[in-house]
């Protein structure tokens, strides 16, 4: 269904304010480059496109448009055609992307469609994606997050400028009523998605029934909710800054010191754990799950083999070893038995590489290897190794424990054997009796892209 707006008396004033608002947003955030406008064909995105298309004096900005065709509405083709006409009128290139929205993803139809939209827009590799979310959308998001029991991150809702994701929402301070007045002033046409009136969806229920009722009782409720999102974003920023300060004393590389975590007290410890996990996981655990993780980390015995699943699809686990917590990717590794064929780089099944380089007086003596074939294998158990000339040989298990290497890393090590003799172990070294002398040609081996950060 197509709609258009008739001019209103206050339209010129609102039109000028919106144009100034957008120009200030672009100047404040130093926006330039390729901007991809997400265009549904509805009122909000049509106003956004018109504002950007008519914005003067921005030579550093190049616009293009994407319309994602979900195929969920019988009017979907008409919406795409409307977007084509609109972009043609502004001489702005348009890409229509067709997606198939799964109805059984477990996310719900709305979430699945949103996920596909963002995937399509990220695939365009623009400098920024510009979205038409406005103040009323922000209020609805805050309301839904409150009802889900969200923390500061959830209540912060949508950011107007998200540099990490490359997302811009320049209309987040503007109400839908203001957008409608702008559309009236410029006699814009847009399409109406009939699903917006279906209160079966939570967001539509809030939009159609909850927020109007709140506005009747508490005028300005929507604006106040959106303002709360800004305050929550500031509080979240302070929490993250505190976590970074705490992390400076509690992190050792990628590992989190459990004793120092415990010394922070429950609230700061949970905040640090959440911050630490946020850079490693796609989705953060709920508060109750996070609290249980913290409890088990702090109360587990030193010799306990603590393993808590974080992400089954990615194979990520929370592990504890010798007083430190780790996020570990654990997948069943394939049997490894590769014969080195003199190539400088050997690609391993886990994506890492063994690099071989000949160098005078360093590494394994090529003369003493006597042309024996070199095999790359995983640990089987019972291996014996002597990396130091002045110390007796010991079991490989002994050396790995002495090196403080966590058990899950030990099983992934690519060991190098000369026939059946272990001659090189990442992070430990080479067999002492094969160490090249200053006058001998040697073979240096390095494990690149490994959990040990390039182990020689």
Q: Answer yes or no: is 11 a known binding residue.
A: no
Write down the pLDDT at residue 58: 78
Pair (155, 303) in one structural domain = no
Residue 37 lies in a domain: yes
371 is in an annotated binding site: no
Pair of tokens at residue 227: 């303002």
Does residue 442 belong to any structural domain of this protein? Answer: yes
The pTM of this model reads: 0.71
Give yes or no: residues 58 and 136 share one domain: yes
In a domain, 98, yes or no: yes
| Among candidate residues 230, 263, 289, the one where a domain is terminated | 230
Residue finishing a domain among 278, 311, 329:
329
Q: The domain containing residue 443 runs over which residues? A: 337-448
Asked whether residue 149 is marked as a ligand-binding residue, the answer is: no
Statement to judge: residues 359 and 341 lie in one domain: yes
In terms of domains, do 281 and 365 share one?
A: no
Residues 70 and 200 in one domain: yes
Q: Answer yes or no: is 450 a known binding residue.
A: no
Distance of alpha carbon 31 from the chain centroid = 22
Same domain, 53 and 181: yes
Same domain for 308 and 203, yes or no, is: no
Task: Give the number of domains in the chain.
Answer: 3
* Residue 265 within any structural domain of the chain: yes
Same structural domain, 306 and 369: no
167 lies in the same domain as 263: no
For the chain of 456 residues, list the mean pLDDT of each consecutive stretch of 10: 53 72 94 96 96 87 95 90 96 94 75 89 95 95 91 90 93 94 94 86 91 94 93 94 96 92 96 94 88 93 82 87 88 78 91 92 92 91 92 92 86 91 94 93 88 52
> Is 454 known to sit in a ligand binding site?
no
Residue 195 and residue 310 in one domain: no
Residue 133 lies in a domain: yes
Query: Per the domain annotation, does 141 fall within a domain?
Result: yes
Give how far Cα 312 sits from Cα of 271, 283, 309, 319, 327, Å: 23, 12, 7, 14, 13
- Considering the domain architecture, whether residues 182 and 288 belong to the same structural domain is answered as no
Q: Is there a binding annotation on residue 41?
A: yes
Q: For position 264, which CATH number holds?
A: 1.20.59
145 and 42 assigned to the same domain: yes
Q: Is residue 86 part of a domain?
A: yes
Nearest CA-CA partner of 27 in 211, 170, 199: 170
238 lies in some domain: no
Residue 315 CB contacts under 8 Å (≥ 6 apart), including other chains: 329, 330, 331
Distance of alpha carbon 264 from alpha carbon 201, whole angstroms: 42
The CATH number linked to 103 is 3.40.50.620
Partners of residue 232 on adjacent β-strands: none
**Contact between residue 347 and residue 449 where contact means Cβ atoms under 8 Å apart:** no
Q: What is the pLDDT of residue 57?
A: 74
Could you tell me the CA-to-CA distances from 298 to 84, 91, 275, 382 in Å, in that order?
58, 61, 17, 34
Q: What is the pLDDT of residue 315?
A: 84
End residue of a domain, out of 329, 357, 384: 329
User: Where do we find the tokens 């709305």?
Assistant: 110
Q: Supply the pLDDT for residue 229.
A: 93
């Amino acid at each position: 269904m197509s709609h258009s707006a008739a001019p209103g008396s206050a339209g010129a004033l609102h039109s000028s304010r919106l144009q100034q608002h957008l120009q200030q947003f672009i100047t404040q955030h130093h926006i330039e480059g390729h901007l991809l406008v997400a265009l549904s064909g509805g009122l909000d995105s049509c106003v956004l496109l018109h504002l950007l298309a008519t914005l003067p004096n921005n030579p550093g900005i190049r616009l293009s448009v994407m319309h994602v065709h979900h195929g969920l509405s019988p009017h979907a083709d008409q919406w795409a055609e409307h977007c084509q006409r609109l972009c043609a009128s502004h001489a702005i290139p348009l890409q229509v992307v067709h997606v198939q929205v799964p109805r059984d993803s477990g996310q719900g139809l709305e979430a699945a469609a949103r996920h596909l939209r963002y995937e399509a827009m990220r695939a365009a590799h623009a400098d920024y994606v510009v979205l038409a979310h406005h103040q009323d959308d922000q209020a609805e998001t805050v309301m839904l997050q409150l009802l889900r029991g969200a923390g500061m991150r959830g209540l912060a809702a949508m950011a107007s400028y998200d540099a990490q994701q490359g997302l811009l929402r320049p209309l987040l301070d503007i109400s839908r009523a203001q957008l409608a007045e702008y559309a009236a002033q410029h006699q814009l046409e847009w399409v109406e998605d009939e699903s917006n009136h279906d209160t079966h969806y939570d967001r539509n229920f809030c939009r159609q029934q909850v927020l109007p009722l709140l506005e009747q009782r508490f005028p300005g409720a929507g604006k106040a909710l959106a303002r709360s999102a800004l305050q929550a974003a500031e509080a979240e920023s302070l929490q993250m800054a505190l976590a970074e300060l705490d992390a400076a004393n509690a992190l050792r590389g990628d590992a989190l010191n459990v004793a120092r975590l415990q010394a922070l007290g429950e609230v700061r410890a949970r905040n640090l754990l959440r911050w630490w996990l946020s850079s490693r996981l796609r989705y953060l655990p709920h508060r109750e799950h996070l609290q249980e993780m913290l409890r088990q980390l702090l109360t587990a015995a030193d010799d306990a083999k603590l393993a808590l699943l974080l992400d089954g699809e990615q194979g990520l686990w929370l592990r504890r070893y010798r007083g430190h917590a780790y996020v570990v990717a654990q997948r069943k590794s394939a049997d490894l038995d590769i014969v080195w064929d003199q190539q400088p780089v050997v690609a391993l099944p886990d994506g890492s590489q063994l690099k071989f380089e000949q160098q005078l007086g360093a590494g394994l003596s090529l003369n003493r290897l006597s042309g024996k074939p070199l095999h790359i294998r995983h640990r089987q158990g019972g291996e014996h190794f002597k990396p130091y000339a002045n110390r007796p040989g010991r079991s490989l298990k002994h050396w790995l424990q002495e090196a403080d290497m966590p058990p899950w890393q030990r099983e992934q090590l690519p060991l190098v054997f000369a026939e059946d003799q272990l001659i090189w172990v990442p992070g430990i070294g080479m067999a002492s009796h094969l160490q090249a002398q200053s006058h001998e040609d040697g073979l240096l081996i390095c494990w690149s892209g490994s959990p040990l950060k390039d182990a020689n």
